[in-house]
Amino acid sequence: MKSRFSKWYFLSAILLFTVEFIIGADFHDTIVRPYGGDFLVVILIYCIIKSFVNMPPVTTALAVLMLSYIVEISQYFHLIKLLGLQHSNLAKILLGTSFSFTDILAYTLGIITVLIVEQLKNSLKNF
């Protein structure tokens, strides 16, 4: 694992964060906010990590996916309540409050998308 700064991933992270913020602030629907946000958040985390650390794409993607699964499973066990953080808005935003299998599916599809884009990016580089 080597440290370095990548403008491309950093700018992608800023763009994704902006989209996530807009979704969180302005969308109150039953599709974009719950599923689009979960789909994009793993891509955002991936881009943040890749902005500063030169790790292989599969390693980074799997680490982000495992982190997202752990956070989702913590919701199943009501970790926020167990830690006494149920009144903390920041904890609710970072850890979430309700478990959902569809969230796990959205995270998985987001990471699959990351791996496809990385593969296409590498294919175009070698073309």
Q: To the nearest whole number, what is the mean pLDDT of the chain?
A: 94
Give pLDDT tens digits for 85-104.
999 999 988 888 899 999 99
| Backbone torsions φ then ψ of 107, nearest 5 degrees | -60, -45
Count of the separate structural domains present in the chain: 1
Selected residue with higher pLDDT from 112 and 95: 112
- Find, among 56, 66, 49, the residue nearest to 10 by Cα: 49
Q: What percent of the chain has pLDDT over 70?
A: 100
Structural domain range at position 60: 2-125
Q: Which residues contact 127 (CB under 8 A, 6 or more apart)?
A: none
Give pLDDT tens digits for 37-73.
999 999 999 999 999 999 999 999 999 999 999 999 9
Q: pTM of the prediction?
A: 0.91
Give pLDDT tens digits for 66-89.
999 999 999 999 999 999 999 999
Q: Which residues contact 57 (CB under 8 A, 6 or more apart)?
A: 50, 114, 115, 118
Q: How far apart are CA 72 and CA 90, in angstroms?
A: 16
Q: How many CA atoms lie within 13 A of 80 on its CB side?
A: 19
